[in-house]
């Protein structure tokens, strides 16, 4: 099976990728600003699950199709961009209800928060390309069972993302709470979170393939 060096090498690369703000991090921050800590943390958990589905897809070969086919990649990219844009518009439309969350009534149900995070993680083109490119490099073909090695290695990504993205969620939610004494400011924060989601969706839509 894999050596400790391979595992640590992939873990280090994963930490670097997760630390650089990308779709998942920006979406988490936007959700924390718009809705609050609890929904943001559930979103992080859903996102991690969506990412691991990508790992499974890459391990069985689907990820390679996305990487090699411009048409499939474009479909995934625009689906993710449109979904983020929709969530951003919804956050702006309902920004006046954000104060309900501070009163103990969550804006989103747990299921919805998990679902939104899952969809964003599943349709994130940045991570699926990373898995296609990086996972095979840290496997040992001589040891056999390469798909199994990729599944085991890929487990590190959602675990690390869950930990680091949760830090972003806590930080953003703390900043949101700081504005809580002013409903008007809180509406502004909620609108800002929505604009971040829309901007993120737009940035993904105009990002091209590196081929």
The residues, any chain, with a CB within 8 Å of residue 62's CB and separated by 6 or more, are none
Residues present in the chain in total: 211
Alpha carbon of residue 152 to chain centroid: 20
Has residue 211 been placed in a domain?
no
**Residue 24 binned pLDDT confidence (cut-offs 50, 70, 90):** confident
Tell me what the mean pLDDT of segment 133-139 comes to: 78
Question: Is the pLDDT score of 72 beyond 50?
Answer: yes
- Distance from C-alpha of 101 to C-alpha of 37, rounded to nearest angstrom: 10
Instruction: Say whether pLDDT at 202 is over 50.
Output: yes
Q: Please check the confidence at residue 107 and state whether its pLDDT lies above 60.
A: no
Inside any domain, residue 133: yes
Does pLDDT of 177 surpass 60?
yes
Model pLDDT, residue 191: 63
For residue 147, is it within any domain? yes
66 is written with which tokens? Answer: 């996305």
Instruction: Please name the helix (run of DSSP H) or strand (run of DSSP E) that holds residue 129, with its range, or none.
Output: helix 125-134
Q: What is the mean pLDDT of residues 163-187?
A: 73
Q: Does a structural domain hold residue 195? A: yes
pLDDT digits (tens, 9 = 90+) for 78-106: 776 777 677 677 666 655 554 444 444 44
Rounded to whole angstroms, how far apart are CA atoms 159 and 80? 22
Residue 128 lies in a domain: yes
Looking at per-residue confidence, does 39 or 184 come out higher?
39
72 with 128: CB under 8 angstroms? Answer: no
1-5, 173-177, 187-191 — which is least confidently predicted?
187-191
In a domain, 140, yes or no: yes
Q: How far apart are CA 59 and CA 147, in angstroms?
A: 5
Domain contains 152: yes
- Residue by residue, DSSP assigns 142-194 as GGS-HHHHHHHHHTHHHHHHHHHHHHHHHHHHHHHHHTTT-HHHHHHHHHHHH
Question: Could you tell me what percent of the chain has a pLDDT over 70?
Answer: 65
Say yes or no to pLDDT of 37 above 90: no
- State the Cα–Cα distance between residues 154 and 10, nearest whole angstrom: 9
Inter-axis angle of helices 23-34 and 110-122, nearest 10 = 160
Mean pLDDT of 173-196: 63
Q: Which residue would you say has higher pLDDT here, 130 or 204?
A: 130
Q: Does the global pTM surpass 0.95? A: no
**Domain containing 118: what range?**
4-205
Residue 210 falls inside a structural domain: no
**How many domains does the chain divide into?**
1
């Amino acid at each position: 099976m894999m050596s400790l060096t391979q595992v640590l090498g992939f873990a280090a690369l994963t930490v670097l990728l997760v630390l650089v703000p990308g779709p998942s991090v920006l979406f988490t921050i936007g959700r924390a600003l718009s809705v609050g800590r609890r929904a943001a943390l559930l979103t992080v958990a859903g996102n991690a699950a969506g990412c691991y589905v990508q790992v499974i897809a890459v391990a069985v070969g689907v990820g390679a199709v996305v990487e090699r086919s411009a048409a499939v990649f474009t479909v995934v990219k625009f689906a993710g961009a449109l979904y983020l844009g929709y969530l951003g518009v919804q956050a702006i439309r309902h920004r006046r209800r954000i104060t309900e969350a501070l009163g103990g009534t969550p804006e989103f149900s747990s299921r919805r928060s998990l679902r939104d995070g899952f969809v964003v993680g599943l349709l994130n083109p940045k991570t699926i390309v990373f898995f296609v490119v990086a996972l095979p490099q840290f496997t040992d073909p001589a040891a056999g069972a390469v798909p199994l090695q990729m599944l085991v290695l890929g487990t590190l990504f959602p675990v690390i993302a869950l930990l680091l993205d949760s830090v972003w969620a806590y930080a953003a939610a703390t900043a949101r709470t700081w504005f809580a004494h002013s409903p008007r400011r809180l509406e502004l924060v909620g609108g800002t979170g929505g604009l971040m989601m829309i901007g993120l969706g737009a940035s993904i839509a105009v990002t091209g393939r590196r081929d």
